[in-house]
Amino acid sequence: MSDQALSIGELQTHFSEMEHKRRLYTALFLGASLVVFFGGFYIADDLNSGGFWQGLAKFFDYPYEIVVESIEADRWAGLLVDYFPALIETVNMAGVSTLVGALLAMILAFCSSRNLGIFAPLVPIARRAMDITRAFPELILALFLIFLLGASPIPAMIAVTFHTAGALGKLFSEVNENIDSKPLEGLQATGATWLQRMRFGVLPQVLPNYCSYALLRFEINIRASAILGFVGAGGIGQEFKTAISWGAGADISALFTLLFITIVVIDQISSRIRRNLVGGTFQMA
């Protein structure tokens, strides 16, 4: 009994020593990380033409100038009307990109889900295709397409569609892999074809989550389409670039207000639709 008690005591002592070493190593690692972080920060700050802390003190100067110019503008509300067509163009770009990208994502998702009885060699091909589409940022792809196709909304739509297909395809495939397999087994037992099993056994289970993810991606694509406008892809982003280049504070605030209101409205509508779809209470008004 004493030997057992002694071994337990030795074990507790050894555990305490290991815990002390772990805390010491953690503290040393955090300390070294902080030294490297702040040392690199000050070195980079010294190499800059302007200091970070001096610039931080002027952080609110530019927004203040924009607000003052907006208040003093004679027809600030009229600017909202003037830039509204550019906003509609951005929303249309995001809408078409989301719709086409979601359809491509469904195809990739069904081809990459092993539990759906798809042709096995097709699964890794579809998964690598989704990896490739997610690997290219929309901005880089849009710049490349603008070089080939010229400055227009088409390169932005292709770039956003390309990325949307990979991002939604990954989410859709995870939804497919978590379905209940019993309806599929029942349909297969009755002699249903693969397409019939997908139509009546899989889609009713996955469509609510598909719609939820697609609506969420639509919100993201609106912001992506606005950013791509800075590189000449059209829409409200291009108007932003022009206004910032000319230093037109009233125009900048009007464009920001339009974009902010649009994102908030779409976010609220999409969130309500997603809740109704997932909860099974969706009703057409």
Residues with Cβ within 8 Å of residue 148, at least 6 apart in sequence: 155
Query: How many other CB atoms sit within 10 Å of the CB of residue 142?
Result: 28
Q: pLDDT tens for the chain, 285 residues: list them.
A: 445 555 676 777 777 888 888 888 888 888 888 888 777 766 766 666 566 666 666 777 777 787 887 777 777 878 888 888 888 888 898 899 999 999 999 999 999 888 887 888 888 899 999 988 888 888 888 888 888 887 778 888 888 999 999 999 999 999 998 888 888 888 888 888 888 888 888 888 888 888 888 988 988 888 888 888 777 777 788 887 888 777 777 888 888 888 888 888 887 887 787 777 666 544 433
- φ/ψ of residue 75, rounded to 5: -130, 60
Counting Cα atoms < 13 Å in the Cβ hemisphere of 206 gives 27
Closest CA to 143 of 266, 242, 228: 228
Total-model pTM: 0.72
Question: In this structure, are residues 254 and 74 in contact, taking their beta carbons and an 8 Å threshold?
Answer: no
Question: In this structure, are residues 212 and 238 in contact, taking their beta carbons and an 8 Å threshold?
Answer: no
- CA angle (117, 122, 128) in 5-degree steps: 125
